[in-house]
Amino acid sequence: APDIWLLGSSAYSAEAAGQLGLPYVFANHFGMPGIDETLRLYRESFIPSASFPEPRTLVPVNVVVAENAEEANKLALPQKLSNARLRSGGKVEPQATVDEMENYDWAAREFMAPAPGPDSMFVGTPEHVAEGISALATRLGADEVMVSPVAGAYAGDDVDRGVRREESLRLLAREIL
């Protein structure tokens, strides 16, 4: 049977996972604030269980990886717009393409929306992203990191595949492995 992990983003969920002796996943991929404090609370409240004698943590991160930083930043723009719409109460729509973002006129509420936490999305070259993820995992004492590729698509990309997301994973894996 698979292990049960508790996914949460609050002190309550962290303490619940700790008191139940379960591994904990902080919802970092949503850009929630407070990851350091929440993982500290989890570890402090951890009661060993038969399956998990020690606390275990997993930290999800969003990544956009390209051969150069300029391209990675362009590929990140559609996800940044989606985040801004979500955080500002805007209409949730299909993700814009990279091409559409080149001349996109940000609405005031999108521009002013709170940004996700800086530890939730890593954008750049394979080396830069790998270093950022490694530093985050070390700082947090994370047992595992889950990578979620969020690179946008160009207008001509195959709509049945996330070719830019696949490429992000290939480039990052090449750097890590």
Give the Cβ contact number of residue 39 at 10 Å.
20
Residue 67 in tokens: 């051969």
Identify the pLDDT of residue 116. Answer: 85
Residues 6+ apart with CB under 8 A from 30: 9, 116, 120
Instruction: Walk me through the domains of the chain, giving residue ranges and CATH numbers.
Output: 56-176 (3.20.20.30)
Q: Would you state the pLDDT for residue 157?
A: 95
Q: Per-residue pLDDT for the chain (177 aa), expressed as one digit of tens each? A: 899 999 999 999 999 999 999 999 999 998 888 999 999 999 999 999 999 999 999 999 999 999 999 999 999 999 999 999 988 888 888 999 999 999 999 999 998 998 888 899 999 999 999 999 999 999 999 999 999 999 999 999 997 899 999 999 999 999 998
The reported pLDDT for the residue numbered 117 is: 84
Instruction: Select from 30, 27, 26, 31 the least CA-distant residue to 42.
Output: 26
Enter the pTM of the model.
0.92
Facing residues of 65 across strands?
A: 124
Which pLDDT score is estimated for 177?
82
